[in-house]
A and B are shown apart, each in its own frame.
Chain A
């Protein structure tokens, strides 16, 4: 036992040393990152808060109506009024803005990595364990270096969220592209696609359902992380929950939790609706057809029928 104790490998010390090293030598880089991330998350939040609550509610209800359906639109309207009734509007919008900003950054970083993974087995072999690491590390752990590098507040909260939420979009982009039918890829090549054309015209469009599933998961993970990130001052609904815990105030904690649930359901259903492709005539298709000036297939047939009879 003594010898084993004497054998202690100081991984923790090493990590600390690395963090110190980065802090001392890369301060300008850290500042630049902080400024960029801060700009993105603050502009999202300011824009959303700038819109009058009722107008934003109306916009969200309309979006739900367009993408999901009238039942979900009613649900959205009722839930958003409940949030306003709980006096949690500002926190909810703040949380949404943080989720959207963090997901935005995560996707911007995640797509190229996912594409690179799909194109090269070597890249996949290197990135896969890193993704595993990112996903299995308890999310609280990210808060420590984030806070050390960027202090307290929204910026470290967003960064910790980006790291935690990125893996699904990388994975599912990779998977989606790899799962594109072999013959479709061959068709692209046989008709003379360059590598770039193959990606843009064949692989990405056909991988879209999978990629959108990744976007959806990234947004969901971002939401869960944003709540945790309130511990380093990211604010929003997480803060309400945290206060509820600290004061053992069940009511406040429940209200905050309910707000998170509502945001989660809305983000989930709306982002999921963008991943549904190839299930008959979607609204998107109808819209595209109308824009091109062609009536929908059904209508056309109907007209012909009317003419012949």
Chain B
């Protein structure tokens, strides 16, 4: 595993005049709302501990009010932590003097904001060079470096425009360039792409991933959007009411959500990550029970009668045998006359607990519905293209 870059250890943020009082109540197991009721103090973050490795994209995800923005602001002490330790490369930043802190912000960390927070009175290049200007870098050097970072985000040509002449996506590229100019080892991104429309947002996510592939920085990315978190995150921390409820890779978060809250994120977000094949399988296909002695003709009859092209063949215990189509049955009738030889070869059944995203490809590329079985090979239903499209449509 890579080197640890940042360690957050039992960090609390309590907004109010007597934090110790609120802390004691937290220790007693009182909830955020109860503490507010009793003392009027707001618990922003409680007992947050995590590590971020060098070069990884660490996503902090949560709904608004979950404390994620407070969390990220404590990492550069825009908000002072009430209790706890935050170490960057082994130095506790909570104990740093104001002077040390300013140096840390200038050298090690940069931040990208949701509303871009560009300086409207400065040109794009001056905005991109803002951090360097503040650090007292001479004009020639800082323009050179700012141009380089503007080039990296594809905005070199707009260097002498003003922010209000740019679109939202371009503005955030300037915000990104401003952060890159300082060549920070840690980038804090607070809902950086949330204000952009979906298409531009995806583009910016790709941009970030591309920049990451070029030079590995430690990125701490705040978002409320699961799709975004899954797309860019190496690891995800999920926050609820100021607590970190789960930390894990995107796969772990999706497959083993720690509680209701974490799994509730998946509702209405990206169904292919949430639903299993069993969830959307429907028993609308024609089923034919294969009994000893029954021949192809009864199956053909049944299909004609119901005007279907395909049928699922089951045994009398509802176990799946195979799928047949009208043409495969006709062929088999002319051949050996056995229903087994009419089974469609390119239809592979899936199990009900498979994720929808895993079967998506199969359903889309198959000419027939895909049968879904449970663990004991019992037929649950089938997923047709129509059913799949309806499910995806409902989600969006």
A-side interface residues toward B, CB under 8 Å?
181, 183-184, 186-194, 197, 201-202, 205-206, 208, 277-278, 280, 285, 289, 292, 294, 297, 300
Contacts and interface: CB of A to CB of B under 8 A. Distances in A.
A181 B115 contact: yes
Interface in B169-183: 178, 182
B377 interface: no
A5 to B, nearest CB: 49
Contacts of A289: 160
Given A201-B133, A205-B121, A192 B113 contact: no
Contacts of A189: 78, 105
A190 B109 contact: yes
Interface in B100-137: 102-106, 109-111, 113-121, 130-131, 133-135
B120 A192 contact: no
B102 A192 contact: yes
B114 A191 contact: no
A181 B182 contact: no
Contacts of B102: 192-194
B281 interface: no
A294 B158 CA distance: 12
A181 B103 CA distance: 24
22 contacts: A184-B119, A186-B78, A186-B111, A187-B117, A190-B188, A191-B130, A192-B104, A192-B106, A192-B131, A192-B135, A201-B133, A202-B119, A205-B121, A206-B119, A208-B121, A277-B120, A289-B160, A292-B160, A294-B160, A297-B160, A297-B165, A300-B160
B162 interface: yes
Contacts of A202: 119
Contact of A190 (B76, B118, B133, B164): B76
* Nearest 3 A/B pairs, CB to CB: A192-B106, A192-B105, A191-B131
B165 A190 contact: no
B141 interface: no
A188 B102 CA distance: 11
Contacts of A206: 119-121
B121 A187 contact: no
A190 B110 contact: yes
A206 to B, nearest CB: 7
A191 B182 contact: yes
B161 interface: yes
Q: Main secondary structure on chain A at its contact with chain B?
A: helix
A201 B134 contact: yes
B134 A192 contact: yes
Nearest to B73: A186
Nearest to A198: B134
Nearest to A282: B162
A181 B114 CA distance: 12
B355 to A, nearest CB: 38
A186 B131 contact: no
B131 A183 contact: no
Contacts of B116: 183
A187 B109 CA distance: 12
Contacts of A194: 102
Given A187-B119, A201-B133, A289-B160, 6 more contacts: A183-B113, A184-B117, A186-B113, A187-B117, A193-B102, A201-B119
B119 A190 contact: no
Contacts of A285: 162
A208 B134 CA distance: 20
Given A190-B76, A205-B121, A278 B115 contact: no
B324 to A, nearest CB: 62
B117 A181 contact: yes
A283 to B, nearest CB: 14
A205 B105 contact: no
A277 B164 CA distance: 11
A208 B122 CA distance: 13
Contacts of B104: 192
A14 B162 CA distance: 58
A217 B73 CA distance: 39
B120 A278 contact: yes
Contacts of B178: 191
Given A189-B78, A193-B134, A197-B134, A183 B160 contact: no
A260 B109 CA distance: 57
Contacts of A183: 113-117
Q: Interface centre among A192, A197, A292, by most B CB within 10 Å?
A: A192
Contacts of A186: 73, 78, 111, 113, 117
